[in-house]
Amino acid sequence: MSRLPSLYTDEDISALVAVLLRSRGLDVATVPEQGNLGKTDREQLEFAVSKGRCFVTHNRVDFERLNLQFIKEDKKHRGIIIVPQKSAYEVAQRVSVLVNSLTVDYIDNHLLYS
């Protein structure tokens, strides 16, 4: 079995999502837990990179733009997962299925839609 990515959920993701993902055996950190409320999207993504975590957000437009900026700047990230705003249970299910079906190496530097 391949190792699963560590996740970092944006402040727009319900705290319940982190609880549900942890119950499925995933390593999850959240913006509030890390004391990063109110930081810019770029600061959040750079924090995730510094901690080796894949970023999970509902914010499609800004993170598509940030992904392109990272590519232009030849910067690496551990993956960005964009998930639609649904119930916490559906968000957790979508993220769990995605990370369990892909390798960590595949997720690295990719923008993924769940």
Report the alpha-carbon angle 41-13-87, nearest 5.
145
pLDDT at 69 over 60: yes
Q: What is the pLDDT of residue 3?
A: 84
Q: What six digits make up the tokens of 110?
A: 């990719």
What is the domain partition of the chain in residue ranges?
7-113
The secondary structure of 70-87 as a DSSP string is: HHHTT---S-EEE--S--
Q: What is the pLDDT of residue 2?
A: 55
What is the per-residue pLDDT across 8-65, written as a single tens digit (0 to 9) for each? 999 999 999 999 999 999 999 999 999 999 999 999 999 999 999 999 999 999 999 9
pLDDT at 1 over 50: no
- Identify the bridge partners of residue 29 per DSSP, sorted by sequence position: 8
How many CA atoms lie less than 13 Å away from 48 in the CB half-sphere?
Answer: 34
What pTM was computed for the model? Answer: 0.95
Could you tell me which CATH class the domain 7-113 is placed in?
alpha beta
- Which alpha helices (H) appear in 1-103, and where do they start and end? 15-23, 41-50, 60-72, 88-101
pLDDT (mean) for 90-108: 95
